[in-house]
A and B are shown apart, each in its own frame.
Chain A
Amino acid sequence: MASPDVHHLFHHPITDHSFSADRQTLAVARDNNVELYSRSGNNFTLQDELKGHDKTVTSVDIAPSTGRIVTCSQDRNAYVWEPSPSGWKPTLVLLRINRAATFVRWSPSEKKFAVGSGARVIAICYFEEENDWWVSKHLKKPIRSTITTVAWHPNSVLLAAGSTDAHARVFSSFIKGVDARPESSVWGERLPFNTVCGEFLNNSAGWVHGCAFSPSGNALAYTAHDSSITVVYPSGPDEPPNAVVSLGTQLLPFLSLIWNGESEIIAAGYDCEAYRLRGNEQGWQIVGSMESKGRPGLGEMRDESALNMFRQMDLKGKSKDDTQLKTVHQNTIATIRNYDEAGGIVKKFSSSGVDGRVVIWST
């Protein structure tokens, strides 16, 4: 396993990050702005800033093929940024929400995106040609609380959403004229807008932090604040799911997760490191951390001379510097994303967190 590729961008939390399709551009949400970094050699250098939001930017996503960037913020707005000769040009999206926008993701078709919000709605946004702007339709029922996360099914119609009312739900976001009629799947056959295809709650009802469909779209995993990961295998429309596997871990809660194939999940969160889980309909287990313990470079950084030891004891009253965590990330990991994947198999993934680092890991 190659050692992770660490980029310490700044001393400030990164709420979300996204790489462009060619992996040359990195967008990170920092305070009220989104910063665009471009790769030069092994490093990322600040290239541009997307200024426009006047409150904390909560989420950013770059569409892989069109290169459009969508951002959303606590100021209740979302912008779609398009490159133009004079720089990035923002287009305001009519979200019609009265609380913060919390999470945004492009659909795989890149014709739509979903914005989760504190107003207990998910705004499904699409481009209206006649008026030349982005409009939204609201997924409302039966959401009872803030949406913390959304994830798209590969067919661009089904959307999973996690909420602070402790439910993970699967909705249809079918929009006439934008989407092709989806093939029927285990989640349902006819899927008009706002069909609830599944509603899941785990036993201890912690709120949901992250969710993701498996590469085939036939399973949904979500992670909640009760330190659990739940994987749902639906059996068919209007039938109880085949299996709902809930794994309570010994760790602090996970905030974000991705699938690697159909039988592996990588999840990270408050424990500052990413973990690998494996399983199937019978059950899931944590296999271990993605970090190789005793990484070279960690111990060597410190000067182990006796002089240094006594100096440390004099200065700090202890000989060991224990202000550093043993993990690569020095604080909570907020987001993990696919970096290099083909056919559902993730070769590399990236993580960002409160410590201002973006790290690229190989699996």
Chain B
Amino acid sequence: MATTNWRTINVDLLDPESPANFDISSLLSTIASVSASEVQTLSSQIKQLLRGGDPEGALRGALENAPYGGDAQAKEVHLATVVETLQSIKQSEMSPMLSRIYGSEGGPETLDVLMKYLYKGMSHTSQPSLGRSSLTPQATGFSQILSRGGGEGGGQAMSVLLSWHEKLVEIAGAGSIVRVMSDRRTV
């Protein structure tokens, strides 16, 4: 008779009380929105710190002002800034710097943000590696495929991120990874 397969109907969508029809963001703390130009300004400030020989200040500045409320483009820009900062820090300086940040006020949270950027950076190792994308702007999807195929520049960025990851887990522990997975404020 009826040809509808009742078992495949998503009953939750028909129930007005259902969580599927509920906007979860109304439960969470509100995040101020950030415009792309603000992120650009911040990025140039951080680069200035970096040139001025203060990589720790640059890293802190970048992590403490993570643009949770920004759009995808703003987040990309900030990711590039963070990765560039990370790449400019010497391997031998990583652990002492992380310990100093961890011990400071609000430090553990800052390191959680760093962990978020490490994972985000690893999830697409495309543009930040050589600053190539800033010279030849490409659609993000396209550049991702390119670097996965080519691998060279991406691999270098990846090894930097991996060694940061190793050092960071030593100091902030597995809890930091769990927080990245459970946190709804994405970078």
Q: Which residues of A contact B (CB under 8 A)?
A: 120, 144-145, 165-167, 201, 203-207, 224-228, 248-253
Contact = CB atoms under 8 A, between A and B. Distances in A.
14 contacts: A145-B19, A166-B184, A203-B109, A204-B112, A204-B182, A205-B28, A205-B185, A226-B178, A228-B179, A250-B172, A250-B175, A251-B175, A253-B175, A253-B178
B22 interface: yes
Given A166-B27, A207-B182, A250-B173, 15 more contacts: A144-B24, A165-B24, A205-B29, A205-B183, A205-B184, A206-B179, A206-B183, A226-B182, A227-B174, A248-B109, A249-B173, A250-B175, A251-B174, A251-B175, A252-B174
Contacts of B178: 206, 225-227, 252-253
Contacts of B172: 250
Q: Is the interface of A mostly helix, strand, loop or mixed?
A: loop
Contacts of A145: 19
A226 B183 contact: yes
A250 B177 CA distance: 9
Q: Which of B112, B173, B176, B178 has the most CB of A within 10 A?
A: B178
A248 B108 contact: yes
Interface string B14-48: 00000100101001110000000000000000000
Closest 9 CB pairs of A and B: A250-B173, A227-B175, A206-B182, A204-B183, A226-B182, A226-B179, A227-B178, A205-B184, A225-B182
B179 A165 contact: no
Contacts of B183: 204-206, 226
B158 to A, nearest CB: 25
Interface residues of B, number: 20
A248 B28 CA distance: 18
Contact of B182 (A120, A167, A205, A250): A205
B182 A144 contact: no
Nearest to A206: B182
Interface of B: 19, 22, 24, 27-29, 108-109, 112, 172-176, 178-179, 182-185
Contacts, number: 71
Q: Is the interface of B mostly helix, strand, loop or mixed?
A: helix
Contacts of B24: 144, 165
Given A204-B112, A204-B184, A248-B108, A144 B27 contact: yes
Contacts of B182: 204-207, 224-226
Contacts of B22: 144
Nearest to A205: B184
B107 to A, nearest CB: 10
A249 B112 CA distance: 11
Nearest to B17: A120
A233 B65 CA distance: 29
Contacts of B112: 204, 248
A201 B174 contact: no
Q: Which of B24, B108, B179, B184 has the most CB of A within 10 A?
A: B179
B175 A167 contact: no
B179 A201 contact: no
Contacts of B27: 144, 165-167, 201
Contacts of A225: 178, 182
A251 B175 CA distance: 5
Given A144-B27, A206-B183, A120 B175 contact: no
A204 B115 CA distance: 13
A149 B179 CA distance: 20
A79 to B, nearest CB: 27
Q: Which of A165, A166, A204 has the most CB of B within 10 A?
A: A204
Contacts of B108: 248
B28 A251 contact: no
A166 B28 contact: yes
Nearest to A201: B29
Contacts of B29: 201, 203, 205
B25 to A, nearest CB: 10
Nearest to A140: B17
A250 B176 contact: yes
A11 to B, nearest CB: 26
Contacts of A166: 27-28, 184
A204 B175 contact: no
A7 to B, nearest CB: 29
Contacts of B185: 203-205
Nearest to A204: B183
B19 A227 contact: no
A227 B183 CA distance: 11
A248 B175 contact: yes
Contacts of B176: 227, 248, 250
Nearest to B184: A205
A226 B175 CA distance: 7
A247 B110 CA distance: 14
Nearest to A250: B173
A145 B27 CA distance: 11
